[in-house]
Amino acid sequence: MKTAVYPGTFDPITLGHMDIIRRAAHLVDRLVIGVTTNPSKSPMFTVDERLEMVKREVADVADGRISVVAFDSLLMDFAVREGAAMIVRGLRAVADFEYEFQMAGMNQQLNDDIETVFLMAGVSLQPIASKLVKEIALYGGDIGRFVTPAVAAQVRARVDEIGRKGG
């Protein structure tokens, strides 16, 4: 059974993430979506909230072959624990590639038995980034083209809690 891990912070999960998840699920027998922390990012949602959000969003895609798991460790250690043969990473632009290429190289140094596979986001989804979705929402913009209605509602509710920016 071929298993892959698709790691990310998913803060929040976007239509771009969902595109990669759907496509990656066709490439493997089992896809593990790893929801993690990233010390360089300021999350809008807790790990538990993101875990539930991702589970809800992939429920229709899951088909029993997708699991959603929180982790707070080296990606390669997590991949080994999950029995993964590959890491799936989504790419949007050249800037993504440079960062992801460096990460793939470091991960290969840690464990060269696990391959990194890059999937390009669909053309219409390439500009979408969680960071930008949060920024748009914080300034009162419409994020409905970038996330599902349920995620948009959850982001709006969080913005209402923490307060909008700008005037």
Among candidate residues 17, 50, 89, 134, the one labeled active-site is 17
Mean pLDDT of the chain: 92
- Res 166 pLDDT > 70: no
Scan for tokens 């986001």, then name that residue: 121
In this prediction, residues 122-136 reach a mean pLDDT of 91
| Per-residue pLDDT tens digits for 43-58 | 999 999 999 999 999 9
Among candidate residues 22, 30, 81, 92, the one labeled active-site is 92
Structural domain spans, the chain: 3-162
Q: Under CATH, domain 3-162 is a member of which superfamily? A: HUPs (3.40.50.620)
Q: How confident is the model at residue 167 (pLDDT cuts 50, 70, 90)?
A: low
Residues forming a β-bridge with 87: 5, 116
Among candidate residues 2, 41, 145, 164, the one labeled active-site is 41
Q: How many helices (H) and strands (E) does the chain have?
A: 6, 5
H/E stretch holding 49 reads: helix 47-62
For this structure, is 17 an active site residue?
Answer: yes
Scan for tokens 């923490």, then name that residue: 162
Instruction: Give residue 70's Cα distance to chain centre.
Output: 12
CA atoms of 165 and 137, how far apart (whole Å): 9
| Per-residue pLDDT tens digits for 8-62 | 999 999 999 999 999 999 999 999 999 998 777 789 999 999 999 999 999 988 6
For this structure, is 92 an active site residue?
Answer: yes
Among candidate residues 50, 89, 130, 134, the one labeled active-site is 130
| Per-residue pLDDT tens digits for 63-113 | 789 999 999 999 999 999 999 999 999 988 777 788 888 999 999 999 999
The whole-model pTM stands at 0.93
- DSSP letter assigned to residue 3: E
